[in-house]
Structure 1
Amino acid sequence: MAAVSRVVLLGRHGIPRVTSSLYISKRDNSEITQANYPRGRGGRSSFSGTVATVFGAGGFVGRYIVNKLGKTGSQVIIPYRGPEYEIKKLKLCGDLGQILFFPYHLEDEESIRRVMQYSNVVISLVGRDWETKNFDFKKVHVDGARRIARIAKESGVEKFVHFSSLNVSPNPKKLVLRPSRYLISKYEGEMAVREEFPEAIIFRPADIYGFEDRFVNYFLSTIRRVRLNLLPLYKKGKETIKQPIYVGDVAEGVIQALRNPKAVGKVIDAVGPSRYYMSDLMDYMYALTRRQQYRRIGLSPAIILRSYLMEFIPYDTKLCITKLEKEFLTDTVEGDLILEDLGIQHVNTLDRIAYFCKSYLTTAHYEESLGEFAPVPKPAMADA
């Protein structure tokens, strides 16, 4: 069996262990080093030379990134919290023995150090959309990000990728009850990462859509409406411009950023190719679901009160005051690079969103090919 330095194999009880940097071939007793290790043709069954630790791999974006890494022949170490059966499905993203799992805790430095001590790439996707009594925004977005970045630097990691958020600011605009604490903590997290790992690549994604997202599924959900067909938006969505991006493009952007030396130490705004007013985008999405009585309204006290109370629910919630605080801010590109600078060819935003809206059709039993419904007109771009 041939091996290469800094490659991790799964040891006893699932604990990653490092292999020797030099093996002796059993076939001809010749030395096999990194220089003559058979890497393959660059696909799933080859070795790309990348050993990546992906924090937050079980989340929406993390699963796509792990899949992209596995397709390129990278070895991926996945730290996880909670039941292991929720994360084991990611084993299929890579070849046999290339996807490894290890339990960790965000406040346990020893467990963090063990999962990245043999890695040359670390990707931090850890984040929360709402606060809990155990993990508030500061513990996750600031203290946790700083801890991971510091240990990565101490472990000799070559490239570090940190996920922040678009529109981060130390003093974001107040739209509902208070300035977004989410965006403030994300900004402070960026500063913490820069202090600990100056060469870090920081991604600022806009609203990301795809399967199991929190954009299409969020705005089309029943709980987001005050009544069956009434959708409350800040000033009816006429003053908010959004630039949503497909999750596959974000994942591909991470892969290209790891390969591109120009991305080192830069802030990358992961935004879609087109900008739309939220009012037009919501009208388009609801028209695709064929809701005849759909109507936009302004933010009502009922939706604000409901979102505030739902922050105290101790499990995942689609609606909370924290989300309302940031969802009506216009997307602003202020980073050093965008995904087009990395060679990313974006998918068509409206066509892809239309695909994800199909599960919300109110008349799904009708055949579209029969022409019983008029085609839904596409909204004009905000900058057109």
Structure 2
Amino acid sequence: MTGLVTIYGGSGFLGRYITRRLAQQGWRVRVACRRPEEALFVRTYGVVGQVEPVFCNIRDDDSVRAAMTGAQAVVNCVGVLAEKGRNTFKAVQQEGPERIARLAAELGVARMVHVSAIGADADSPSEYARSKAAGEQGVLRHMPQAVILRPSILFGAEDEFFNRFASMAQISPVIPVVGAGTRFQPVHVDDVAHAAALAIEGRAAPGIYELGGPDVHTFRELIVQMLHYIRRRRLVLSLPFGVGRIMASVGGLMQTLSLGLVRAPITADQVANLRRDNVVSPGAKTFADLGLSPIAMEAVLPDYLWRFRPSGQYLAIKESARNLRNH
């Protein structure tokens, strides 16, 4: 086997794909996560003993150091879309990455890959985006040769974007969209994992890479495309940002009063983040600099959104039978 790599957040959406790729390449993989008992599925990505979930809290030095000891490379893909308890943007996306990089430098780790996000900007109105930028700065302060990946919105079988709106479309005749004109460049989760694996193998030059798929769509266009794949007609209601802020305030209050049982549909910070396009910047390093060609959404979405169709996996059979009867 090649060596040992520690992947912080290796059981999450993106992390599991990175874990699988590195295991296939022969690495021993230590998956550092908060609940290793819920991440036992990662063991199946390699041979017996090759992939091992271990406990880690990236807010704690000793925990991060223990998970990293003996590793030749580290990957950080821990992030939060909304703050909860002690898992604030600052703690997870600013202090966490710098802690990992500082300890990696102390322990002599050869390579580090850090997953950030397109839109990371110290001057952004969004705290999420500001924390991402601060996290990048912290990583480069201690590991200047690190590779930083900034993906646009990720899609894949376990995503929280298309699956969430498709689930909503099953029960609601209206899909409200804040920032309907905001542009995104959706990228398949395994393409980003491939980029991370190349960096760990030393086949990517140090620096920041912005990773987007081959196509750019507005938020509204993405929802319309999703509805097409799940064969449902729904009203896509474009909401102004002012209404979005009101929704965020009401949703946040309901979430607080219910002690978290009711999830806010959108947060004030997400509304602020939606004011800016989420696409690859001109002149940025991209997949092309890694020798990769990202896959289009059209080739992947039907493979996992079929379960949201009116008849699920049987819809195509019913449509075929209907056509036979008509002829």
Cα deviation, residue 104, structure 1: 2.3
From 263, 288, 292, give the equivalent of 2:205: 263
Q: 2:196 aligns with which of 254, 257, 273?
A: 254
The residue correspondences of 1:1-384 to structure 2 (distance < 5 A) are: 47=1, 49-82=2-35, 84-172=36-124, 179-222=125-168, 228-234=172-178, 237=180, 239-264=181-206, 266-299=207-240, 300=243, 303-309=247-253, 312=256, 314=260, 317=263, 319-321=265-267, 322-327=269-274, 329-334=276-281, 336-364=284-312, 365-367=314-316, 370=320
CA contact (8 A) 1:234 1:298 kept: yes
Residue type of the alignment partner of 1:359: R
Contact 2:17 2:193 (8 Å CA) reproduced: yes
CA contact (8 A) 2:7 2:31 kept: yes
- Calculate percent identity across the aligned residue pairs: 26
Match of 2:76, as an amino acid?
Answer: S
How many Å apart are 1:58 and its aligned residue? 1.5
Q: Quote how far apart the aligned CAs of 1:115 are.
A: 2.0
Q: Distance in 2 between matches of 1:122 and 1:294?
A: 45
Q: Which has the higher helix share?
A: 2
Query: In 2 relative to 1, CA 343–148 (structure 1 residues): closer, same or farther, beyond 3 Å?
Result: same
Query: Counterpart of 1:337 in 2: which secondary structure?
Result: coil
Residue type of the alignment partner of 2:316: E
SS at the partner of 1:357?
Answer: helix
Shift of 1:340: 2.5
Q: Distance in 1 between matches of 2:261 and 2:102?
A: 30
| 1:291 CA drift (Å) | 2.1
What is the rounded CA distance, in whole Å, between the counterparts of 1:340 and 1:247 in structure 2?
17
CA offset at residue 87 of structure 1?
1.0
Task: Tell me if structure 1 keeps the 8 A contact 2:147–2:204.
Answer: no
Q: Distance in 1 between matches of 2:315 and 2:261?
A: 37
Q: Aligned to 2:199, what secondary structure does the other structure show?
A: helix
User: 1:204-258: CA deviations, max 9, x gaps?
Assistant: 0110011121121133232x99x822222235x2x32111011111111111222
Give TM-score, length-normalised by structure 2: 0.87
TM-score, length-scaled by structure 1: 0.75
- Match of 1:272, SS state, is coil
Unpaired segments ≥5 residues, structure 1: 1-46, 173-178, 374-384
Cα distance in 2 between the residues matched to 1:156 and 1:315: 44
Larger Rg computed on CA atoms: 1
Q: Within 1, Cα distance between the matches of 2:91 and 2:34?
A: 16
Which amino acid in the other structure matches residue 296 of structure 1? Answer: L
Instruction: Assess, with a 3 A threshold, how the Cα gap between structure 1 residues 165 and 316 changes in structure 2: closer, same or farther.
Output: farther
* 1:312-343 per-position Cα deviation (integer Å, ceiling 9, x unaligned): 45479573313333245312323742122212
- Matched residue SS, 1:122: strand
| 4+ residue runs over 6 A deviation | none
- Structure showing greater relative contact order (alpha-carbon pairs closer than 8 Å, 6 or more residues apart): 2
